A and B are shown apart, each in its own frame.
Chain A
Amino acid sequence: MKEGLLPFGPGAWVFIALYLGSLLLVGWWGYRARREDSLKDFYLAGSGFGFTVLVLTLYATQYSGNTLFGFTGKTYRIGYAWTMSVHFMTAVIVFYLLLAPKLQARARARGFITPADYLQDRFAYAPLSVLASVVMIVALSNYLLAQLMAMGRAVEGLSASTGTDVYIWAVVALALIMVVYETLGGLRAVAWTDVLQGVVLMLGFAILTVLVLVYFGGPETSALKILGQDGGGEKLQPPGWAMSREWVSYIFVVGIGAALYPQAIQRLYAARSPAVLRRSLQVMAFLPLTATLIAVFIGITALANFPGLEGAEADRVLAVVFRDIQSQGSVGYWLVVVLFAAVLAAIMSTADSALLSISSMFSSDLYRRVRPGAGESRLTKVGKVSSWALIVILVVLAIVLRGTTLLKLLDRKFDLLVQLSPAFFIGLHWSGLRSRPVFAGLVAGLAISLGLAFGVSGKPWGIHAGLYGLPVNLAIAVGGSLLGTGEAGSAETEKQALSG
């Protein structure tokens, strides 16, 4: 570590190093706590988690580098209209109502490890299971890449130097720590570090709110400053028709897409009991108010006090706020050290969950198909090796693609994930839904969404490309199931499974 790289003194570096070291220690505990060399033990922590661990791991996984940097940056750019982020994060829990009760019961009964295990069990159609796994791996790799880039920007934003080396150093070092504890302890390590990271993150949001109020003043002070800026009034205006369409689009695309995050689905599987999961979701319903709403508040304060930043610079605006607080005395300095740890917690706890989930899908869904005779121990080892290979590729990409803004990356993955919703949301409740129409619908939905997103625009007429693909996808899946006569017997078997 180069001296003077960041404006932190030796004491602050010792604190950060201890924090990062504690993550490795928790990873080691996770490794020691393993009971058997199996996929269930490594990817679902054996018998699962109780209420506290489940809430904190869901929280730390859901609120990420995007929440802190992307959301403050987006608020900085568009103003209070980004209040929609509170709505779409709440919508995720609303959509869980259609997913969680039945999926968890089925997962417990059948011993699922990955989301594609449900699809294979429900539809018994290999092309659908494989395509769904590939979609989830691509979407999640995109997400993981965004988190790695956020790590680099977090450190770079606090750096005194603007050289490339700070960004690269941060991405490589933090990715290395993460992949070490992840491959040591699997979901135990990831969820236990999430507990630590979730607590640090909650503490960080609370400290940040108080600090911003003390140093920069409340919403009225910010509003007056913004109104004094050129075009500032627009940032306080209600959304109007066009932006309201975008709100509704975000509510559906993120609400449905994030409910289908493979790492979130695996946490539903890893709940110790249905009651634990239900109570955790009750708490989760309120957590957007403690995370995204604060990110909006910080973004508005940054807009009022540090106008003029654009593009990737705006994504780093939180770091500009930090630096300003840091320069206002030793209390501010030390609180920023804690906040910096919270930023790392937010990013790493989301990235490690995505990484673990990808590795489970690669090993259990894809490798097992190629090598059906592979034992549990072999599959777990393949999963670990795939984590290392993927992290190397993504670290290189994070360094090459550093100019892209975080939100662009965030949007594409939901366009893909929402296309899986007929198979999950309808397939869980309607025994008549058949495999081939679902597969055809998925292919059509993906083609339309990606064609629009890359050929026309990510949000034609303010609506996400994925939501243009979804109605076609639904019509083919449901219409084809109603009209089709093939797959005799599967509907009857499914009816029995659903009623059980």
Chain B
Amino acid sequence: MKGPYLSLKVWGVYAVLLLVAVPWYWPAEDETRWGGLPAWVVVAIAGSVVVSAYTAWLLRRPWPSEEE
């Protein structure tokens, strides 16, 4: 089985980002707001931005089919 993104490292990073970006760990009673947004929303959005940036970074390398 092989492919440009088939590595444990790549999907391990996504698993960690998923754990951070889904705020399951945030205390329900916390009412902190940053810039008017609940703090947990800011963290969740930041997590999503990192996922986007990591994906774009992975996509910087040409695919095997581009070399044909």
A231-266 interface bits toward B, Cβ cutoff 8 Å, 1 = contact, 0 = none: 001001111110010011001000000000000000
* Contact A236 B56, beta carbon cutoff 8 Å: no
* Contact A288 B52, beta carbon cutoff 8 Å: yes
Number of residues of chain B lying within 8 A (CB) of chain A? 43
* Contact A87 B21, beta carbon cutoff 8 Å: yes
Neighbouring B residues of A251 by C-beta, 8 Å: 18, 22
Chain B residue with minimal CB distance to A252? B18
* Contact A238 B28, beta carbon cutoff 8 Å: yes
* Contact B48 A288, beta carbon cutoff 8 Å: yes
Q: How far is the CA of A452 from the CA of B32 in the complex (A)?
A: 39
* Contact A278 B24, beta carbon cutoff 8 Å: no
A-B contact count (CB 8 A): 130
* Contact B52 A274, beta carbon cutoff 8 Å: no
Q: Which of B1-46 contact A (CB under 8 A)?
A: 1-6, 10, 14, 18, 21-24, 26-28, 30-31, 33, 35-38, 40-41, 44-45
* Contact A105 B65, beta carbon cutoff 8 Å: yes
Neighbouring A residues of B56 by C-beta, 8 Å: 282-283, 285-286
* Contact B23 A238, beta carbon cutoff 8 Å: yes
Sample (7) of A-B pairs whose CB atoms are under 8 Å apart: A219-B33, A240-B24, A240-B28, A247-B22, A274-B63, A285-B53, A286-B56
Extra A-B contacts (18), CB below 8 Å, given A102-B3, A223-B37? A80-B37, A83-B44, A83-B45, A90-B48, A93-B52, A93-B55, A101-B5, A105-B64, A219-B36, A220-B36, A223-B33, A239-B24, A244-B22, A244-B23, A251-B18, A278-B59, A288-B48, A293-B45
Chain A residue with minimal CB distance to B55? A285
* Contact B55 A94, beta carbon cutoff 8 Å: yes
**Which among B2, B35, B63 has the highest number of chain A CB atoms within 10 Å?**
B63
Residue A47, interface by CB 8 Å: no
* Contact B63 A289, beta carbon cutoff 8 Å: no
Chain B's nearest CB lies how many Å from the CB of A183? Answer: 33
CB contact under 8 A between A274 and B65, given known A102-B3, A248-B18: yes
Could you tell me which A residues sit within 8 Å of B by CB distance?
80, 83-84, 86-87, 90-91, 93-94, 97-98, 101-102, 104-105, 108, 218-223, 233, 236-241, 244, 247-248, 251, 273-275, 278-279, 281-283, 285-286, 288-289, 293, 428-430
CB contact under 8 A between A86 and B23, given known A285-B56, A429-B3: no
* Contact A430 B3, beta carbon cutoff 8 Å: no
CB contact under 8 A between A104 and B65, given known A80-B38, A278-B59: yes
Neighbouring B residues of A275 by C-beta, 8 Å: 62, 66
Neighbouring B residues of A240 by C-beta, 8 Å: 24, 28
Chain A residue with minimal CB distance to B62? A275
CB contact under 8 A between A286 and B52, given known A221-B36, A244-B23: yes
Neighbouring A residues of B55 by C-beta, 8 Å: 90, 93-94, 97, 281-282, 285
Chain A's nearest CB lies how many Å from the CB of B54? Answer: 9
Q: How far is the CA of A289 from the CA of B27 in the complex (A)?
A: 25
Chain A's nearest CB lies how many Å from the CB of B48? Answer: 5
CB contact under 8 A between A101 and B3, given known A219-B37, A274-B66, A278-B59: yes
* Contact A101 B63, beta carbon cutoff 8 Å: yes
Chain A's nearest CB lies how many Å from the CB of B24? Answer: 4
CB contact under 8 A between A429 and B6, given known A80-B41, A286-B56: yes
CB contact under 8 A between A219 and B35, given known A90-B52, A286-B56, A289-B49: yes
Chain A's nearest CB lies how many Å from the CB of B1? Answer: 5
Chain B residue with minimal CB distance to A432? B1
Q: How far is the CA of A199 from the CA of B49 in the complex (A)?
A: 23
Chain B residue with minimal CB distance to A79? B38
* Contact A241 B52, beta carbon cutoff 8 Å: no
* Contact A105 B21, beta carbon cutoff 8 Å: no
CB contact under 8 A between A98 and B40, given known A244-B23, A251-B18, A281-B59: no
Neighbouring A residues of B58 by C-beta, 8 Å: 97
Neighbouring B residues of A285 by C-beta, 8 Å: 51-53, 55-56, 59
Chain A residue with minimal CB distance to B21? A87
Q: Which 4 A-B pairs have the closest CB atoms?
A: A220-B36, A219-B36, A244-B24, A105-B65
